[in-house]
Copies of this chain bind each other. A is one copy, B any other.
């Protein structure tokens, strides 16, 4: 794991692939782990609350969460469904991921502005992977990360929110254990484990270190991969059914 310590503050329009290639000599099969905030900044995903008119639902949730109604409206506008309305807001983002506040964040941005998630993080990852190959003629994988809370456990960890040229799940199906029996744990979410590993070196304070290289893992894939493979099917999701039961009861 190699942290890139000289990444400048990213502005709209910056070419992150070019900045990465100037910071380190890329090798074949490097995995480039990038914090979603700098992707969103380079793509100009800023907004302010100025012209947002909160509806009744946003006002109700804002009161329960002690948040600005305009910010809650912005969060609802980005969501398919609100799973938890208070004391914090957990939604299914229009991109399919389950996240707090629809990923909207005001850390590390100028006062009064908010930052969205990248519009399509898989596409952003593919574009950076393609551009790094163009600049260096090396094949690389890209994982874009964000930090998430978890069920049952305190503290956030990083997860993958966009990927390119790496399969997000390593499948142990058919593998045998020490005694020749088939393994029960068969799917390892390696894109999330790589994201969590990189986050150890990223840090949060003062913008941290938003790009980490993981070298020597041999995980490059030519397949068209998507982070959506990590999103559980709604119908199978018992915890989601539980949150719906809670909403219906209240």
Contact = CB atoms under 8 A, between A and B. Distances in A.
Given A157-B192, A243-B238, A246-B242, A111 B151 contact: no
A1 interface: yes
B231 A241 contact: no
A169 interface: yes
Contacts of A245: 242, 245-246, 249
Interface stretch (A51-59, A127-135, A170-178): A170-178
Interface residues of A, number: 65
Q: Which of A152, A168, A237, A240 has the most CB of B within 10 A?
A: A152
A196 B204 contact: no
B193 A158 contact: yes
Nearest to A227: B153
A2 interface: no
A135 B237 CA distance: 48
| Identical subunits present | 2
A193 B199 contact: yes
A19 interface: no
A181 interface: yes
Contact of A111 (B111, B150, B181, B189): B181
Contacts of A231: 152-154
Contact of A178 (B1, B153, B185, B207): B207
Interface string A194-219: 10110110001111000000000100
B187 A200 contact: no
Interface stretch (A73-81, A100-108, A116-124): A100-108
A205 B188 contact: no
Contact of A239 (B168, B190, B232, B243): B243
Interface of A: 1, 9, 84, 98, 105-111, 147, 150-159, 168-169, 172, 175-179, 181, 183-185, 187-190, 192-194, 196-197, 199-200, 204-207, 217, 229-232, 237-246, 249
